[in-house]
Amino acid sequence: MKRISLIVAALALGAAAFAQQVQVGVVLPTKDEPRWIQDQTRFQTALQNAGISSEVLFSQGSSATEKTNVESLITKGVKVLVLCPQDGSAAAAAADEARQAGVKVISYDRLIRDTAAVDYYVTFDSVQVGAAWGKYLLSKVPAGKKGNNLFIYTGASSDNNAFLFFQGAWQVLQPKIADGTFIVRNSSRAVALKNKANLTRDEQAGIIGQTTTNWNFSDAKNKAEANLTSTGKSDKGTVFICAPNDGTARAIADAFAADKDVTKYYITGQDAEIASIQYIIDGKQSMTVLKDVRTLVKDAIAAAEDFLYGKTPEQTTTYNNGAINVPAKPTAIVTVTKDNVQKEVIDSGYWPASDFTGL
Ligand code: BGC
């Protein structure tokens, strides 16, 4: 009798262990931004279709939770970890732990910094995202007009992408700040560095420190309002706003729209969030950058499968993470405005037309 129950218990344990086996674990930064819900949804569908057992976890803005998530996936026997770090450098410890457990580490969208324990980086071309903002804003400047008011906002300095986006924007905007086409109204450090094309990471960090939104809507709103309060009427009128993503762009746009001294504004964004596509249709946000998450998820799964079968994922370039050059194959991005929103967002099947009014 005792023996039988022991066998039953052992079988049950075995079944539990089998049920818990996770081949690919995905850890995303937060549920509180639509961007990462997009990734979650698209991952779940694609992993299921690929027949890969998986689990998607959220870190809710906490590097400690992120580490616990990674540890729980290691316990479940995960073979490949897809990690989008909350904080690039803080995530190094979790990546190291995964590496020690023999897990392949794929850095997803955001680069895990300051560790050699990153096997691959799946990403969009983030420098091009920033360059797209710069090009868009520049295209709205009347030919030859100098002294246009420029407001710069950036992402969280704990996110390596904030630097890449800014780098791309600076590449395009800096020569036009240097020649007086734009005057930066909300960053004394950007003004001080206006003649310098290639900024060091510390110089970038200085400007990001002044202009950061922390990827947070209310921080973005508060900073925009504070900037508007300290800017005189003569430096408003038509304004050009380099905003780092859709969530913060809507918050900043609302603040600028509410200022009676702002007669017209152009504002950038990224992620093609549903709410921002509606803002674009309504003329409240000028552009967004569509980063097709379906492609990113596909690339991540292809890389994960390569690792599962002992192969090496395709590489077209590398990104230095402060410790090593991480192999990567960045994905192209698309600028979306009112003019091409139908084609790029609706006709491409990214979002259904029924999500919007006034198309
Ligand atoms: C991502 C953006 C996102 C931002 C805030 C960045 O690392 O690339 O798509 O909007 O983080 O979450």
CATH code assigned at 271:
3.40.50.2300
Measuring CA to CA, how many Å separate 259 from each of 176, 183, 244, 253? 26, 19, 21, 10
- How far apart are the C-alpha atoms of 88 and 232, rounded to whole Å? 37
Answer yes or no: do 222 and 248 share one domain: yes
Answer yes or no: do 172 and 153 share one domain: yes
Answer yes or no: do 132 and 119 share one domain: no
Q: How many whole angstroms from 20 Cα to the centroid of ligand 1?
A: 31
Residue to mutate (ligand 1; options 36, 215, 295; most atoms within 8 A of CB): 215
Mean pLDDT across 184-211: 98
E strand or H helix at 140: none
- Provide φ and ψ at 315, rounded to 5°: -130, 135
Ranking 7-21, 211-225, 240-254, 342-356 by mean pLDDT, the lowest is: 7-21
- Tell me which residue has its CA closest to atom 9 in ligand 1: 271
Answer yes or no: do 151 and 88 share one domain: no
Mean pLDDT across 51-77: 97
The radius of gyration of the chain from alpha carbons, rounded to an integer in Å, stands at 23
Answer yes or no: do 132 and 277 share one domain: yes
Question: Does residue 110 have its Cβ closer than 6 Å to ligand 1?
Answer: yes
Extract the tokens encoding 81.
């970890």
Answer yes or no: do 9 and 146 share one domain: no
> Ligand 1: which atom is nearest the Cα of residue 244?
10
Structural domain total, the chain: 2
Q: Say which residue the tokens 């192209």 belong to.
A: 332
Residue 16: what pLDDT? 46
Answer yes or no: do 150 and 231 share one domain: yes
Q: How many whole angstroms from 245 Cα to the centroid of ligand 1?
A: 7
- Provide φ and ψ at 265, rounded to 5°: -135, 145
Mean pLDDT across 82-96: 98
Answer yes or no: do 207 and 170 share one domain: yes
Closest CA to 133 of 342, 28, 288: 288
Cβ pair 24, 54 in contact under 8 A: yes
Extract the tokens encoding 192.
């001080």
Measuring CA to CA, how many Å separate 324 from each of 157, 201, 252, 299, 308? 20, 16, 36, 21, 23
Report residue 146's pLDDT band, with 50, 70 and 90 as the boundaries.
very high
Cβ pair 152, 190 in contact under 8 A: yes
> Ligand 1: which atom is nearest the Cα of residue 159?
7
Answer yes or no: do 159 and 284 share one domain: yes
Q: pLDDT tens digits, residue range 227-265?
A: 999 999 999 999 999 999 999 999 999 999 999 999 999
- With a threshold of 0.85, does the pTM exceed it? yes
Closest CA to 172 of 264, 248, 240: 240
User: What is the maximum alpha-carbon separation in the chain?
Assistant: 92
Mean pLDDT across 115-130: 98
Residue 21: what pLDDT? 85
Report residue 93's pLDDT band, with 50, 70 and 90 as the boundaries.
very high
Q: Which domain holds residue 270?
A: 126-290+336-355
Question: Does residue 185 have its Cβ closer than 6 Å to ligand 1?
Answer: no
Is pLDDT above 80 for 75? yes
Question: Does residue 250 have its Cβ closer than 6 Å to ligand 1?
Answer: no
Extract the tokens encoding 229.
């309060």
Sequence-distant (6+) residues with CB within 8 A of 290 are 272, 333, 334, 335, 336, 344, 345, 350
Closest CA to 57 of 68, 45, 42, 46: 68
Residue to mutate (ligand 1; options 83, 108, 113, 159; most atoms within 8 A of CB): 159
- How far apart are the C-alpha atoms of 37 and 112, rounded to whole Å? 20
- Provide φ and ψ at 356, rounded to 5°: -125, 160
Q: Which residue type does 195 have? A: N
Question: Does residue 87 have its Cβ closer than 6 Å to ligand 1?
Answer: no
Q: Say which residue the tokens 């691959």 belong to.
A: 120
Answer yes or no: do 304 and 244 share one domain: no
Answer yes or no: do 73 and 205 share one domain: no
Answer yes or no: do 198 and 88 share one domain: no
